[in-house]
Chain A
């Protein structure tokens, strides 16, 4: 004991206190709580933003619905906001949105899913690195540039080669919207297919299935939640798009006759808001009606968004489940 050097007893003596003084403890606690609260407040600005959007759109749309009723707005197809008496039937507008959206999906869903399959299951890794930027750039081109292309290039072409009265119609708008929605569909669907796991693929291949059979019978069913989510997200992109439909769909407030006439011009909800705003005086019923159209659009996309979240969640949950 006598030989024990001072240092050796000090070994265990930590030179910095391991415990906080009550002051430090409280200080840290407060800083922590306050800091977290501040960060939380900043983060919840997104919530505030969503609430504000809903609040302000509803605030303007509500007087309209109270005055003109909900039934006329949703069921009537007469949209004469400047007529006397003014008529606010958004039926044609909703039909217009529906036409171009469904049209776009008809092009985009098969193309998008096939491309996703090709990217995730067929293309070698290196080639994927080249194709992916192409998809990204396709997604990045501003919508007004697509609209420009539709009206300056596609419309005259359609008019000339198909002998149409007008080149700005459902077909034109759907085609361009499809090109815009495809990248969204591809990226979400590809994620879902990749997440479905290699094991599944190998199991099927090991049983002697061809690649096509594996994809169609095993991979696509396994990834179906993610693929549904992809379609919904692509649909949201198409339904919410303004510039392309404003420029390329013809802006004729009508329901095509016969109903399958895809070369008829239509007018969508988004295009109506964009186009009519300048003509509607502040505070007029017309202006409020545009907010009502906006609210309808918002409600649509909100529901679609919830649906996509549900399917995305299922797709992720499914992925985890399988990994166990």
Chain B
């Protein structure tokens, strides 16, 4: 079992070039992946740091139907991982499993392991509040609360009992700056968030998610409801944020995946078909199905 995953640094497009030590709890997952992907491709996949999210034979059922089947993949910190696939392929389901948002749907059942920072999120003792605070989420449609811009951002910190006005003010400004929205809204923070444009609303939602100081940011087709200009701004924002945060983005837009992500996973019918460096997926996928999809022959 003592597999030494030597990686060729120059084949990764990561900034970090160190060869990582394998985290103990990751070894079995690695093994599974080894069987799935070619050694070459696998080598390029592993990043310099230990994976922050690891999924091992993870399945999620809606009643009897499996939304996600036997997914095994690692997601690495401080990078953008894209999940693509035709609609209904389980990519959103997988994403929403990471911070347990699927709990809202009745009769769901999980099997296998989905670890965040080494802890199975489907553990009975999971602290959902802490999990969701540290694994933030941005939704498909901008969903600001019907409150003021300020209150939207301050919602998360207030949950963590940040009470002092100056702290909140700082935090709101910082988050709005990180989301590249500060300059646009700094004068009317008291305005209803619903009065913003769609793109602004989505950036507000990102800022709101950042305010809880997450480590991971899950984005569920964040640009699907936006026009190209707004989309561009969000993508720009993502590339800025990936230095600090781990971003997992579900998208149906393959160009977007190609533009923003380091790694891409291709899902189909609830199964993970292929997971590799984005460049590889789009230029030289090892599985025919993936190639068909990315070249537009299917889906």
Contacts and interface: CB of A to CB of B under 8 A. Distances in A.
- Note whether A and B contact each other (Cβ less than 8 A): yes
A16 B134 contact: yes
Task: Decide if the interface of chain A is mainly helix, strand, loop or mixed.
Answer: loop
B18 A14 contact: no
Task: Decide if the interface of chain B is mainly helix, strand, loop or mixed.
Answer: loop
A46 interface: no
A18 B130 contact: yes
B49 A9 contact: yes
A3 B52 CA distance: 20
A18 B52 CA distance: 13
A14 B126 CA distance: 13
Interface string B17-30: 01101000000000
Interface stretch (B87-95, B116-124, B148-156): B116-124
Contacts of B21: 1
A19 to B, nearest CB: 5
A12 B215 contact: yes
A18 B215 contact: no
Given A11-B246, A12-B77, A18 B116 contact: yes
B127 interface: yes
Nearest to A19: B125
A84 interface: no
Nearest to B121: A18
B interface, size bucket = 20 to 34
A15 B212 CA distance: 12
B78 interface: yes
Contacts of A4: 18
Contacts of B127: 16-20, 24
Interface in A1-42: 1, 3-4, 8-9, 11-20, 22, 24-25
Given A8-B49, A19-B125, A20-B126, A1 B134 contact: no
Contact of A11 (B18, B126, B215): B215
A1 to B, nearest CB: 6
Given A19-B126, A19-B127, A20-B125, A14 B49 contact: no
Interface in B48-97: 49-50, 52, 77-78
A11 B77 contact: yes
B26 to A, nearest CB: 11
A13 B124 CA distance: 21
13 contacts: A1-B18, A3-B18, A9-B49, A11-B49, A13-B117, A14-B116, A14-B130, A18-B121, A18-B126, A18-B134, A20-B127, A25-B124, A25-B125
Given A11-B52, A13-B117, 17 more contacts: A1-B18, A1-B21, A3-B18, A4-B18, A8-B49, A11-B78, A11-B215, A12-B50, A12-B52, A12-B77, A14-B116, A14-B134, A16-B127, A16-B134, A18-B134, A19-B125, A22-B125
